[in-house]
Chain A
Amino acid sequence: MECYITIDIGTSAVRIFAFDSNGKTMAFSKGAYPTFHSEPIYSEQDPEQVFITVLFVLKNFLTEKINPKKNKVVAICFSGAMHSVLPVDRHGIPLGNAITWADNRGNKEADQLKKMPLAKKIYEATGTPIHPMSPLIKIAWIKRHDKERYARTDKFIAIKNYVIQQLTGACVIDYSLASATGLFNIHLLQWDTDALNFAGITKERLPEAVPVFFADMQLRKEYQVSLGLPAKTKIIIGASDGCMATLGAGVWGEGKATITIEQSGAVRVAGKNIIRDSQQRFFNYLLTDGYYVSGGPTNNGGVIFEWFAKQFGIFNEAYGIEESIDRLISEAARVPAGSDGLLFLPYLLGERAPLWNANARGAYFGLNIKHGQPHFIRATLEGILYEIYSIGKILETHRPFSTLSVNGSFAAYPLWAQVIADIFGKPVSVSSSSDSIGTGALLLTQTALGQFANLEEAAKTVSLRETYQPNKNDHQVYKRYYQIFESLSHKLNDEFASIARLQNS
């Protein structure tokens, strides 16, 4: 049987799917690699370990699950985490570790740029909010603080590019991933001069940008042999993980939005126009020429609930973190919506959208003598989702939507999906695929192969399961509490700054 393979090089693991020609999942494998924090605000990955993990998982995947059943791999399509930077020398050899999206070493450079009039111009041209996450800021940091590495760098690439370069020899970046660098003009589809100037590089220091359907690549001969794949296997460069997740969730055109909650979270819409936000709160990334995925990311997604589970969950020999989370969620379900007036601000990791305040911190608010442990559990969950809502609410002023699809490991919990429906007051569907990113990459592959006229047609084929209808009463309850949540988030600005200063000193 003919099959399509998708490879997602994510923040913590590579995930590989095989789909048959009807879009049905045939097999799945994953392999994890670590993130190193040599300084608290640093986040780095070993590019060789990422590459070897991808290769190892892919090889086992093919030899164990695909090749023995006489399946024929037609195409392989890639997706990857956004915002990573890997400096390589002129032989393509990595100069140290890759810097991932979560790295905040460029705090000062970002603050400096934000104060300049140039910031607005760069944001409008590139679609990427000015933030230490973006390669624009990271490269500026390397140029200033790691002069030796800067001098030896021939190109600044992303981790996904590195893996593809190792496998095929091609050093290219897709428009989608490029549009998340803060260096790429999303209107002209070329590297942006203002941004390049601020970063302190010329466009020769970046890989060539190509469309997401680009497939003018071949596996190196040795990999063809060791993986058992013919030379004609189509290698498609693909897009960023965020864009793929949006496509795979079937979110296309007016009236729809998608919520992803993994460790971090995001609310996204897709369409032919960008969102022009005067306060620069939303990103506009390219899915492909003329199609934009817009939205806002939060730092404080599932990672916050995991933090809670680690601190206060029940553990014993038999239970790991996953079981503990399951148990906490079922306990939370027994507390009424609104947690009897206990509110939680989830800003343990500072916040990106919509506050864009690295100093923001967490708080429980409204405690009274009747609150017990289950209230804390539910309040924590609700706080994370109020924060998601705060992004959605502002996003809606730019692009109204009436339905939501949710994906990601946390959003897939029925209680989470229901609370999202209730807070937003809109029906919520959960993507039928366990992995929207893989589905997105499959749709992109099928479009590249001419099976769909365009991505819009492809997105229409996504089937959604389980719809959660909003409960009117609970919606009213959340609405009242949300007002307090929102005003607290803004009112505490001075205190956030003061406490962060003390904590950082």
Chain B
Amino acid sequence: MLHCRPGEQGSLWAGLYILLRHSARGQYDKSTMSHLILQQHVSPELGAFPHLAGFACRKIQQVHLNSFPVAVSGCLQVWYVQEGKFEWLINQRQEMLYPGDAAIVLPGQSIGSEKGWLDVGTCWALDVVPEIFEAGNFVPGPWSGLPPAESRAIGRLFSMNPNPVLARFTEAAHLFDELQRELVSREIGYTVRVNHRIDDLLIGIARQLSRQHQLQRDFPQTFLKLERALRTNLDQQWLVEEMAVLVGMGTTAFTEKVKAHTGFTPLHYLINIRIAEAIRLLKNTSRSVTDIALSTGFYSSQHFATTFKKLTGYTPRQFRTNHTGLSE
């Protein structure tokens, strides 16, 4: 499990902590949109949320040196800019954030300002510690209401997204505002509400990210990206739902679009790619049929052989001898 501890080297909260000490505003008032910094193990507000490393609404009225150095994050961080203009280095990319923009930083990625400090303005930050976040798998934890397949799809979408900034993601303002209110007021049912808002935020980001693919405008282009994702993860099982999420569509619309564009259902199209790659491996390598079957995403060599024979009339072994010139 990944942890972000306050004050730990490499944690974003290290910088904020220093800043907090510099700031005269150690206390916060109970209205929303006020300066507020909550940290796990320090702030009682987060006691009910072990999966939150921190929550902050930062109003910066004065620049503090070394308040925001570039550091690797151990958490899933979501930032939202309310006021001001911030120039950050996120995952080694120079990014400019304006009011209404959000940024997402994955565990293992870095964020900070090259100058080392936060500019004047207002921004929100949320630090979530996922139970698992790795290639092809994302498990937020028991607090989340997302079904496993959907959180896996969201994880894939986050990992494959090259651009950490979501432009004009204004719905985040509302969610952060509510999160803050709930965390501070601790009214009845607040734990449920807080966890729901975090789910809402993840869902909102996922939808916005997939919309950024501009799929309506350029389905062939979008489809090419999906195709690349499928090819690089060919050994994995794919549900139609997961493919649809990657391109930001509902399953029904996605299936229809793919059918119109390629002439195949998404799963049949995937079989095309699997078989094509299997043929390449049969011809070019001496790897065993079982090995090829598994690396091209078939459950077993039987499953592979049946599918292969149904399509080509050959068993994979026959195909190998017949199409490599060895028999000719």
Contacts and interface: CB of A to CB of B under 8 A. Distances in A.
B263 A13 contact: yes
B268 to A, nearest CB: 7
A319 B257 CA distance: 11
A220 interface: yes
Interface in A201-230: 220, 222-223, 225-227
A55 B276 contact: no
B313 interface: yes
Interface in B283-312: 283-284, 309-312
A32 interface: yes
B311 A56 contact: yes
A226 B313 contact: yes
B8 to A, nearest CB: 41
Contacts of A403: none
B280 A34 contact: no
Interface in B218-249: 218-219, 223-224, 227
A31 B269 CA distance: 9
B248 to A, nearest CB: 11
Contact of A46 (B219, B263, B276, B309): B276
A501 interface: no
Interface stretch (B34-42, B160-168, B316-324): B316-324
B314 interface: yes
A149 interface: no
Contact of B313 (A34, A225, A311): A225
A166 B323 contact: yes
A483 interface: no
Contact of A55 (B309, B311, B318): B311
Given A13-B263, A48-B279, A91-B325, A315 B217 contact: yes
B311 A315 contact: no
B120 interface: no
A427 interface: no
B326 interface: yes
B89 to A, nearest CB: 26
Contacts of A49: 272-273, 276
B262 interface: yes
Interface in A397-433: none
Interface in B191-215: 214
Interface string B248-286: 000000000100011110001001110111011001100
B185 interface: no
A220 B323 CA distance: 11
B324 A91 contact: yes
A29 B322 CA distance: 28
A320 B216 contact: yes
Given A34-B227, A91-B324, A320 B219 contact: yes
A484 interface: no
Contacts of B262: 13, 31-32
Interface in A315-361: 315-317, 319-321, 324
Interface residues of A, number: 41
A313 B216 CA distance: 10
Contacts of A313: 217
B314 A222 contact: yes
A93 B283 contact: yes
Chain B: number of interface residues, binned into ranges:
35 or more
Contact of B284 (A13, A52, A92, A93): A93
Contacts of B280: 46, 48, 94
Contacts of B284: 93
A94 B261 CA distance: 27
A226 B312 contact: yes
For B216, B219, B273, B284, the residue with the greatest tally of chain A CB atoms inside 10 Å of its CB is B216
A52 B216 contact: no
A33 B269 CA distance: 9
Contacts of B313: 222-223, 225-227
Given A48-B277, A222-B314, A315-B216, A31 B263 contact: yes
A90 B311 contact: no
Nearest to A165: B323
Given A48-B277, A52-B276, A56-B268, A226 B311 contact: yes
A208 B214 CA distance: 46
Nearest to B262: A32
Nearest to B214: A310
Contact of B322 (A30, A94, A220, A226): A220
A32 B257 CA distance: 12
Contacts of A25: none
A162 to B, nearest CB: 11
A57 interface: yes
A59 interface: yes
A166 B311 CA distance: 14
A390 interface: no
A92 B182 CA distance: 68
A64 to B, nearest CB: 12
A53 interface: yes
Given A32-B261, A226-B312, A319 B216 contact: yes
Contact of A92 (B263, B314, B325): B325
Contacts of A59: 311
Contacts of A324: 217
A46 B275 CA distance: 12
Given A90-B325, A92-B325, A225-B313, A52 B261 contact: no
Interface string B12-27: 0000000000000000
Contacts of B323: 92-93, 166
Contact of A222 (B224, B271, B272, B322): B322
Contacts of B273: 49
A315 B268 CA distance: 28
Given A31-B263, A49-B276, A55 B312 contact: yes
A414 B113 CA distance: 57
A438 to B, nearest CB: 15
B284 to A, nearest CB: 6
A113 to B, nearest CB: 32
A152 to B, nearest CB: 11
A167 to B, nearest CB: 10
Given A53-B272, A222-B318, A310 B217 contact: yes
Nearest to B224: A34
A55 B272 CA distance: 10
Contact of B263 (A32, A94, A223): A32
A321 B311 contact: no
Given A48-B279, A93-B325, 19 more contacts: A31-B263, A32-B262, A46-B276, A46-B280, A48-B280, A49-B276, A55-B312, A90-B325, A93-B284, A94-B280, A94-B283, A222-B322, A223-B312, A223-B313, A226-B309, A310-B214, A316-B216, A320-B216, A321-B218
Q: What 10 A-B pairs have minimum CB-CB distances, sorted nearest first?
A: A226-B313, A91-B325, A222-B313, A49-B276, A31-B263, A48-B276, A32-B262, A315-B216, A310-B217, A48-B279
11 contacts: A13-B262, A34-B223, A48-B279, A91-B283, A93-B284, A94-B283, A222-B314, A226-B311, A227-B313, A315-B216, A321-B217
